[in-house]
């Protein structure tokens, strides 16, 4: 048994047998029919949200939540990646999990997505790399990292001793890069999963980002899927006209979960007005400013795929978490808000538990998907206005 599966329970093993991804995933039409009419408050519409008996204390469903008892906040993100609560920290905002150790109890997080990791070391972009914008920030770090081998050498042993699963965020310039990084991560104790950052230029295809093309996104996902048995999350880019075909291609290629969304492309102007502010000119916009866009993407994506969707984009309080759950996310990642309030993710876990207790729920799952259309029918005509 590989150490990376230390969060696996016998129940989740039974429910998630380690079979290779089927060549043909269920078609979208079949998926639609899989969305049975749901009465909100009874059960989540997403079959992927499985209870984990070991993590969930026995609470009688008839009597509702025991006020003193634990609320079941655990969720299976696929392939046995069971997180104890649905509050993750986003890649690039939490380093390698050790930086905030003095002020945050990292073991209480659902999972940590580490800084983007590439095959070779990268020194990143020229400065300035970050700047504040209204209700958000722009960053263009340029994937500065010491390379996958150094990351494993420096941090994996520490992670292996942790209870909190570490999801390594992987970036690359070609399909081969991604596959090689993932191969090196495979089987390393302390690594619980992979999150693919596909918002990188594909050098082999003239610098077109993987994330904006369904074919390229599917191709890189499938290649990584063949290379690893680790739980595989793929991070969607919001910088596309319609994210649904891309999400479907990634799900069909065998991803275990989707993360939505990455940052939005933007620029800022230097105070002198003589040049753009950021050293790299372009930066990624994050923070509360992008929450409505992230909500829209999660809303759309969660209706067209049958794998878990992890929401990210402007989570700053419990209401944001509940919003994202309502539009179909099974978990959230907190990112930029950590810079202002490092203790926020841990506090959100507690607040989500209290919220469930207040509502008399023994699990947060009934909160998922409550704002989705009650019955998924023909492909939605909504959103057609921003198709090219």
What residues form DSSP beta bridges with 284? 139, 265
Least CB distance from residue 264 to another protein, whole Å? 15
- Written as six digits, the tokens of 336 are 């930029």
Least CB distance from residue 85 to another protein, whole Å? 21
> Catalytic one among 113, 114, 200, 356?
200
Nearer to another protein, 123 or 208 (CB): 123
- Which residue carries 């008399």 as its tokens? 360
Nearer to another protein, 320 or 362 (CB): 320
**Of 5, 14, 109, 2, whose CA–CA distance to 52 is shortest?**
14
Nearer to another protein, 92 or 110 (CB): 92
Helix (H, G, I), strand (E, B) or coil at 325: helix
Least CB distance from residue 132 to another protein, whole Å? 5
Annotated catalytic residue 113? no
DSSP string, 25-85: PPPHHHHHHHS----TTT--S-TT----TTTS----TTT---TTSPPB--EE-STT-EESS
Contact 115, 96 (CB under 8 A): yes
Nearer to another protein, 245 or 279 (CB): 279
CA distance 72 to 84: 8
Least CB distance from residue 336 to another protein, whole Å? 6
- Which residue carries 């990188």 as its tokens? 200
Least CB distance from residue 131 to another protein, whole Å? 6
- Written as six digits, the tokens of 163 are 């209870």
Nearer to another protein, 265 or 339 (CB): 339
What residues form DSSP beta bridges with 87? 332
What are the residues binding another protein (CB under 8 A)? 92-95, 99-100, 102-103, 115, 123-124, 126-132, 134-137, 139, 141, 144, 279, 287-288, 316, 336-343
CA distance 271 to 30: 54
- Would you please indicate which residues are annotated as catalytic (active-site) residues? 200
């Amino acid at each position: 048994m590989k150490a990376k599966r230390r969060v696996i329970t016998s129940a989740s093993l039974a429910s998630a047998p380690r079979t290779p991804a089927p060549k043909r995933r269920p078609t979208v039409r079949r998926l639609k029919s899989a969305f049975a009419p749901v009465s909100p408050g009874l059960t989540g519409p997403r079959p992927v949200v499985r209870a984990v008996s070991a993590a969930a204390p026995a609470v009688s469903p008839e009597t509702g939540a025991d006020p003193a008892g634990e609320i079941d906040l655990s969720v299976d993100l696929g392939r046995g990646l069971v997180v104890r609560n649905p509050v993750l920290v986003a890649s690039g905002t939490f380093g390698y999990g050790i930086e905030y150790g003095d002020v945050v109890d990292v073991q209480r997080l659902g999972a940590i997505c580490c800084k983007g990791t590439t095959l070779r070391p990268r020194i990143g972009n020229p400065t300035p790399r970050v700047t504040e914008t209204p209700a958000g920030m722009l960053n263009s770090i340029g994937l500065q990292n010491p390379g996958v081998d150094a990351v494993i050498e420096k941090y994996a042993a520490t992670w292996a001793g942790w209870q909190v699963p570490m999801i390594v965020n992987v970036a690359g310039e070609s399909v081969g890069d991604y596959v090689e990084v993932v191969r090196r991560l495979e089987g390393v104790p302390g690594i619980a999963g992979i999150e693919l950052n596909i918002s990188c230029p594909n050098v082999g295809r003239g610098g077109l980002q993987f994330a904006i093309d369904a074919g390229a996104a599917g191709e890189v996902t499938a290649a990584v899927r063949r290379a690893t048995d680790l739980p595989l999350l793929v991070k969607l880019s919001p910088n596309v006209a319609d994210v649904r075909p891309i999400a479907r291609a990634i799900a069909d290629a065998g991803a275990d979960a989707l993360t939505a969304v990455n940052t939005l492309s933007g620029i800022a102007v230097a105070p002198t007005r003589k040049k753009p502010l950021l050293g790299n000119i372009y930066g990624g916009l994050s923070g509360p400013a992008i929450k409505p866009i992230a909500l829209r993407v999660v809303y759309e994506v969660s209706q067209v795929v049958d794998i878990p969707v992890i929401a990210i984009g402007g989570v700053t309080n419990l209401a944001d978490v509940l919003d994202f759950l309502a539009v179909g996310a099974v978990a959230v990642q907190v990112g930029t808000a950590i810079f202002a309030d490092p203790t926020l993710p841990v506090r959100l876990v507690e607040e989500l538990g209290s919220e469930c207790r207040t509502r008399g729920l023994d699990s947060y799952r009934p909160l998922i998907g409550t704002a989705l259309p009650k019955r998924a029918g023909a492909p939605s005509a909504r959103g057609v206005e921003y198709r090219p």
